[in-house]
Amino acid sequence: MKYPVAVFDYGIGGIGLVTLIKERYPNLPLLYFSDSGEIPYGKLTRSVLKARVDKVINFLQDEGSHHMVVACHSASSVVISNERVTGIRELTLNSVKKYNLNSLGIIGGGRTIRAGFYRKNLSDEGMRISQRIAQEFSIRIERGEIDSPELEEVARRILTPIKSVDGLLLACTHYPAIIEVIRGVMKKGCLIIDPIETVFDSIGLMLEQTQSIGKDRFLTSGDPELMKVAACNAFDFEIKESLRVDL
C-alpha cells in the first residue's frame, strides 16, 4: 500500500492534522504513527532523540509513505525539512509572525520551552515573550481527559502567570484538544494560535495533486485501545482499528 503522507507524533496530538486532512480529502489514504510506547521525547538526549526520530521516519518510508509530517515539536527539533519530510518548527514561527502582537505567551512541553527556539526567534521579531511548561496538559490528553475540575485547576496554575498576553502559542499539538479550557483562563480577546492549520496549508499542494484512494492505517508503539479512546475524546476522531508495532 502506498500512502501519500504519513503523520508522526509522540502520541495522539497529530490527530488534529489528520482531522484537517480527512475533512478536505476523505478518500486519501493516511498512515499515522504514535510513539507513545517510547520514553517521553523530552527525557531523551538530543542524540538519542535524533536516532529514534530517524528510525521512525525510515519505518514510515518502508511502509510506503511518500511524505512524512513530524507533528511533534520535540521531534521536529532534530529534523531538517526537505522534499520527503516536513517538520513543524519553522511553520510554527510562520503561524505567529503573520500577527502584529506586542506580547506572546508560549506553552509547550519541557524540552520545547527549555530549548527556547520559539522564544528567541519571536523575540527577534520584537515581541515580549513569556513561557510556561505545560507538560501536564499532554499527559492528561493522552489518557483521554479533556474536561474535568482537575484539568481546569492545572490550567489555572500553568496559565495564570501569563494570562494577560495578547496572544498564546500552542507549541504542542495536543493542546488544541483543550482550547476551551485554555481560553477560560486567558484574558478576554487573547488570540490563541494553533499552528496546525499552517502545517496543513504547507502540504496542501502536494495533497491536491494526489490521486490515491485507499484505507488509512493507525499504528502505535504503545497501547492501541488507549490511542483509540484518546483520539475520540480529544479530537472527536474515530480510529476503527489501531495496531501495535514493535519498533
* Domain at 117, CATH number: 3.40.50.1860
- On whether both 53 and 173 belong to a single domain, the answer is no
Q: pLDDT tens digit string along 65-121?
A: 999 999 999 999 999 999 899 999 999 999 999 999 999 999 999 999 999 999 999
Intra-chain end-to-end CA distance of the chain, in Å: 19
Q: Given the C-alpha cell 518510508, which residue does it identify?
A: 61
Q: Which of 169, 114, 138 is nearest to 10 (CA)?
A: 138
Instruction: For residue 216, give the amino acid letter.
Output: D
- On whether both 187 and 110 belong to a single domain, the answer is yes
- On whether both 8 and 66 belong to a single domain, the answer is yes
* Cα distance between residue 236 and residue 177, in whole Å: 9
Count structural domains, the chain.
2
- On whether both 188 and 203 belong to a single domain, the answer is no
172 burial level (CB within 10 Å; 0-12, 13-18, 19+): buried
Range of the domain at 17: 3-89+198-244
Instruction: For residue 175, give the amino acid letter.
Output: Y
236 Ramachandran zone, left/alpha/beta (phi>0; psi -120 to 50) = left
- On whether both 38 and 112 belong to a single domain, the answer is no
Q: pLDDT tens digit string along 113-158?
A: 999 999 999 999 889 999 999 999 999 999 889 999 999 999 999 9
Looking at the chain, the whole-number percentage of residues with pLDDT higher than 90 is 88
Q: How confident is the model at residue 206 (pLDDT cuts 50, 70, 90)?
A: confident
- On whether both 185 and 217 belong to a single domain, the answer is no
